Structure formats: structure tokens, C-alpha cells
Amino acid sequence: MEIKIQKRKLGNSNLEVSAIGLGCMGMSFGYGTIADEKEMISLIRSAVESGVTFFDTAEVYGPYINEELVGKALEPFKGKVVIATKFGFNFQDGINTGLNSRPEHIKKVAEESLKRLRIDAIDLFYQHRVDPNVPIEDVAGAVKDLIQEGKVKHFGLSEAGVQIIRRAHAVQPVTALQSEYSLWWREPEEEIIPTLEELGIGFVPFSPLGKGFLTGKMDQNTTFDSKDFRSTVPRLSPENLKANMAFVDLVAAVAQRKNVTPAQIALAWILAQKPWFVPIPGTTKLHRLNENLGAAAVELTPDELLEINTASSKIVAQGDRYSGGSAKMINR
């Protein structure tokens, strides 16, 4: 089946990307295993062949090895794809020692990322997490310098709050905000999304499938490898998984009627919210990539959207989305 993925523009910028991107983190980081490099290069290239033009990585994934993988995989498609990467951490001997968004550090990271990604300019450069020790104006100013030097094309923020977004945007227009958003994490709807709409900033939801939960492939007996970050996510503990199954039942019921998969409904729901939302589900499996991309062809009617919104707003998600240590990294 030929998948034709429409393009979307991220906010008021001229940055045009496929309506669904590919989050590459899990290929090298986060899930306790590092996938086979040859297989992942092949997967990334299959995504390009299917019309994906938006790829998400970060120096912290590994560290470094995910950017190297993405760089190698996408080298033949230079100029035809958009690569987003992120700065904002310090490393010592390959260990993440905490936040660092000092301007001179941002500039150093940009040089290193360019080499690893084998590109001349970073298409979208996100601050990975807000650094409370560095005024956001200084961060935006550093990226503005990089844009003027031609090393970066667009500035992004990740998991930033409304005031930070406004202050950054006043110094250097923000092209996109990346934050967690899905049917079972709708907190950005309160303040973040209206602010993005007002300022003309695109929205890139990560974990659009609830870290895999909304695919319907987990239940209260699901266990995660101790090195898999999901083993520390309170929302995915056995007792919370059981309570949260109502979300899965909801997408599964709609999916069954439309003869598609729960994951496709969860992604189609995001795509239907606003034309400037571009989710970036991650996967290491070709059949899952194809399934995710198939969501771009799923049309939800106004009635179906109303049904999903009404039903999901009555379900209260049990458990925090991050454990204490990770939660502290989100400084809104």
C-alpha cells in the first residue's frame, strides 16, 4: 500500500514537514536496549521512502549515538528532510550531569551536532529542558546568533511553560514547541496550546501513543526491563495500568468500528486537533512505522471527535507521567 503523507507547516514559520514525524530516541536510548544499527538505518530510510521528512533526535540520546545513527541514515537525503535535535545538558565521560544552556555551551553543542548529523545547518534546534540558571533571553539570543551564522535554521523549545515561551519568542521567534501530548496527557490544552496559536508556533507532540500504552499492547501484567525508563513511570505501574485501561478501551472501540488500529485512532485524534500539530511517534519496527504512518489517512468525523473528547474527558488518568527525578527536569 502506497502511503501518501500530507505536509504541514509548523506555525507561522516556513518550516514544512510531513504530518507525522519519526522520533528516533528509542533506537539508541531509553528502553534498555540499543537496536541494531543496520536495521535502524534501514528503518529510517524506509520512513523517508514512505514520505516522512521530519526526524527527531538529541545529543542526550545515548549520549551522541542517536545523532550519529540519524546522520548516517539520512546522509543520502541531504536537503530533502528536516532534522530536529536538542541541546541543554552537560556530559562528563558520557554521563549526563545536569542542565546546561549557557550560550557558549549551546554554540559548542551546535558544532558537535552538525558533525554527528553530517549536515551544514540544523533545521530545528530545541532547548531540551528549560535551564533555571540561564535566562531564556540568553538562550534565545545564542540560537539567534547561530541562525545568523547559518548553522541553525529554526529555534524550538521543549516542555517549556507559557512565560518562557513568550520571553524566548520575543528575542528569537520560536518555530515549534515539543511537549508530551496524547489522549491521556492533555494538560497542554489549558494554557500552552492557546499561547502557541496566538504566537503562531507549531506543536510537536512526543509520546503521542502514551509511551506505547495507547496501542493497546499493554495490560496490568506488562513488565518493563529495569533499564527501560518506563519501569519508573508511575502511570505505567501495574495498578495504574489497570485503572488507565479505560483510555485504551475508548480508542479500541472507535478503531474497531473504523477497521483501523487503536494507535491509528490515537494519532489521528492528534492530527485532527489543529493543522499545525505534528506528532513524532517513535518505533524500532517497520510494521509499527507503517501502522503509525497509516494514521495520516484516517479521517475522524466531527461526531467521532466529539465522542472521543467527551469520553476521554471523563476518564481521570491514574499516576504521574514521570517519576520524581525526571519530573524535576520539567521546569515550567
Grid cell 496527557 in the structure block, residue: 185
The band of 330, judged by pLDDT with boundaries at 50, 70 and 90, is: low
The reported pTM is 0.97
> Which residues contact residue 259 at a Cβ distance below 8 angstroms, ignoring those fewer than 6 apart?
none
Residue 264 forms part of a structural domain: yes
The band of 323, judged by pLDDT with boundaries at 50, 70 and 90, is: confident
The pLDDT value recorded for residue 331 is 58
Q: Are 269 and 2 in contact (CB under 8 A)?
A: no
Residue 1 forms part of a structural domain: no
Q: Are 300 and 225 in contact (CB under 8 A)?
A: no
Residue 205 forms part of a structural domain: yes
Considering the candidates 61, 64, 126, 181, report the single residue annotated as catalytic: 61
CA–CA gap between residue 122 and residue 119 (Å, rounded)? 7
Burial (CB count <10 Å: 0-12, 13-18, 19+), residue 273? middle
CATH of the domain at 123: 3.20.20.100
Question: Grid coordinates standing for 212?
Answer: 506505547
Q: If residue 47 lies in a helix (H) or strand (E), which one and from where to where? A: helix 37-49
Host domain of residue 162:
7-327
- Tell how far CA 19 is from the center of its chain: 13
According to DSSP, residue 147 is labeled: H
pLDDT digits (tens, 9 = 90+) for 160-173: 999 999 999 999 99
Q: Domain total for the chain?
A: 1
Q: Are 49 and 18 in contact (CB under 8 A)?
A: no
Residue 159 forms part of a structural domain: yes
According to DSSP, residue 22 is labeled: E
- Tell how far CA 25 is from the center of its chain: 9
Residue 2 forms part of a structural domain: no
Residue 307 forms part of a structural domain: yes
Known active-site residue 61 = yes
Question: Grid coordinates standing for 235?
Answer: 502511570
The band of 321, judged by pLDDT with boundaries at 50, 70 and 90, is: very high
Residue 40 forms part of a structural domain: yes
Grid cell 501518501 in the structure block, residue: 4
The pLDDT value recorded for residue 220 is 87
Residue 269 forms part of a structural domain: yes
For 85, the 3-state DSSP assignment is strand
- Tell how far CA 242 is from the center of its chain: 26
